[in-house]
Structure 1
Amino acid sequence: MAHTALYTVPTALGILNLLAKPFTALGRGLVAIAENNTRYQTLNKLMALSDEELAKRGLKRDQLVHHVFSDSYYL
């Protein structure tokens, strides 16, 4: 037997959702810009390494952000 669930959004929430769309798009755009940053990608690659691999490189997991961003930010 098949069941179908139907949910409709109340009108007030629909209007608020419509007003929020530009801000949602702006937020998604800013996240996309940040994720395409090479430093962010480098940090993700280092975070994917095991602790043993990081130790071979002379790094600890809690030092990765400082290692990646140390030349552009004072951390």
Structure 2
Amino acid sequence: MAYMSGNPSNVSFVGAFLNTLGDRLFSAFNVAVEANGRMARVEALQALSDEQLAAKGLRREDIARHVFSDIFDV
């Protein structure tokens, strides 16, 4: 006969904690990956000449606002 050592409520607490921890780690990883892609976009736009930026309807000072416009309401 098998006996469970420990309180079942502790088991569900640990499971919930691990799920929350996993969700937060996954979220942090997604943020890092997305930020890396956005920074690559910023660098690519910064490498363009002012004339090339103007052809895209951008000014150099608006690059960050353009790339991050869906995150920040600026």
Question: How far apart, in 1, do the equivalents of 2:72 and 2:37 lie?
Answer: 15
Where in structure 2 are the equivalents of 1:1-75 lying within 5 Å?
A: 37-75=36-74
Stretches of structure 1 that go unaligned for 5 or more consecutive residues are 1-32
Instruction: Report how far residue 73 of structure 1 moved.
Output: 1.5
Identity %: 43
Task: Name which one, 1 or 2, has greater alpha-carbon Rg.
Answer: 2
Question: How far apart, in 1, do the equivalents of 2:56 and 2:73 lie?
Answer: 22
Question: How far apart, in 2, do the equivalents of 1:69 and 1:59 lie?
Answer: 14
What is the number of equivalent residue pairs in this alignment? 42
The normalised TM-score by structure 1 is 0.51
**RMSD after superposition:** 1.7
The normalised TM-score by structure 2 is 0.51
Stretches of structure 2 that go unaligned for 5 or more consecutive residues are 1-31
